[in-house]
Amino acid sequence: MTLISFDIDGTMIFGSPPGTIGLDTVRRAKELGYLIGSASDRPIGNQEELWRTHGITVDFVSLKHHLPQIKDRFPATRYLHIGDTWMDQHFAKLAGFQFLYVHEVPGDEPGSWVF
């Protein structure tokens, strides 16, 4: 089981500023059976509303510095956080997540970058 945490601002297409991760990428990850959600500095309720607005049911929403709690909640074999800043990288590493910069994620083909 792979768990992917997406930052929102600068990472997701609906972030502010918009990033390059589209909804198709997230849907594809769900199709592959991945656990998915967001870890952002935005308030939890706001993150939930954004996902709801875009028609995606996520497994979790989290504050960025609470990634360790996500790891505790969801047993998985791989934990990955995708974000656009060194803060994302910092908190991902602290939590024992792998980290990818959003610019390292090619297009809407998550299968191509996860494996």
Give 10 or 37: the residue with its C-beta nearer to Mg ion: 10
Instruction: State the nearest-atom distance from the C-beta of 74 to Mg ion, in Å.
Output: 22
Which C-beta is closer to Mg ion: that of 1 or that of 46?
Answer: 46
Report the candidate in 21, 12, 11 with the shortest Cα–Cα distance to residue 113. Answer: 21
Binding residues (CB under 5 A) for Mg ion: these are 7, 9-10, 84
Rounded to 5 degrees, φ, ψ at 102 are -55, -35
Distance, CA of 7 to CA of 19 (rounded, Å): 9
Closest contact distance (angstroms) between CB of 64 and Mg ion is 9
* CB of 9 or CB of 59, closer to Mg ion: 9
How many other CB atoms sit within 10 Å of the CB of residue 18? 13
CB of 10 to Mg ion, least distance (A): 4
Residue nearest to Mg ion (CB): 10
CB of 33 to Mg ion, least distance (A): 26
Taking the CB of residue 69, how many other CB atoms lie within 10 A of it? 13
Which C-beta is closer to Mg ion: that of 9 or that of 32? Answer: 9
Q: In what order do the strands lie in the sheet with 2-6?
A: 60-63, 35-40, 2-6, 78-83, 98-101
